[in-house]
Chains A and B, each alone.
Chain A
């Protein structure tokens, strides 16, 4: 009886500590999202709240849930978010690089936006080359245009 009460108390304390730490890390990530200077560093800051803050909060909730279906659901949500957050960040940074967004780097004149193609020699070729899915899409568009050439030529070029 006493042992069970003590265990419950310890679990409560541990889960409260985890939840508090998770909330603090979540807040730190959100503050970094506002204070960082450019898109890439903001992604870095957002990942703090999406990995550590989220993980600590869900660990705290798991301790409260016990061995029930709720625990399984928490594990599923945590796995989903931990698998998809890096995916989203990767896709976002690649889209930003394709857009010509210049990351801030430290140079002789201090922090300034630098073209990443100057730093990484192979990057210019990779950014200029369309991805495989887009090559397929461009190829399909080309065959469509070849199949109906008269329609393409009939359009007057306004630009």
Chain B
């Protein structure tokens, strides 16, 4: 019962890694990173049920909090997409 969803989530994680490696823009990579974070939480919960130790869910809660904070922090840094080149010219609205 647990093996099938675990395999599906593992395959989804592998596909997200592929997207993170290929992704033409930084936003593709961020989207893939977000998907990997969510997948890790689901995988953790499923593994907890597989081994009969659902205490792993506490770690899942922590990962969920860290995931959103991390994504929002990186997005705030990259809001104008200035990836370290000509940052001042792109950021200056005047």
- A residues lining the B interface (CB < 8 Å): 12, 15-16, 19-20, 22-24, 26-27, 29-31, 33-34, 39, 42-43, 46, 49-50, 54, 57-58, 60-61, 64-65, 70, 73-74, 76-77, 80-81, 84-85, 87-88, 91-92, 94-96, 98-101, 128-130, 134, 138
Contact = CB atoms under 8 A, between A and B. Distances in A.
Interface of B: 1-2, 4-9, 11-13, 15-16, 18-19, 25, 27-28, 30-32, 34-35, 38-39, 41-42, 45-46, 49, 54, 57-58, 60-61, 64-65, 67-68, 71-72, 75, 78-81, 93
14 contacts: A23-B6, A23-B9, A30-B13, A39-B27, A39-B31, A49-B39, A50-B35, A61-B45, A70-B54, A77-B60, A84-B67, A84-B68, A88-B75, A95-B75
A42 B26 CA distance: 13
A20 to B, nearest CB: 6
Contact of B19 (A24, A42, A94): A42
Main secondary structure of the interface of B (DSSP, over half): helix
B23 to A, nearest CB: 9
Given A46-B34, A96-B25, A64 B4 contact: no
Given A26-B12, A95-B75, A49 B35 contact: yes
Given A33-B15, A39-B31, A61-B49, A84 B64 contact: yes
Main secondary structure of the interface of A (DSSP, over half): helix
Contact of B72 (A34, A87, A138): A87
A23 B4 contact: yes
B71 A49 contact: no
A34 B18 contact: yes
Contacts of B32: 33
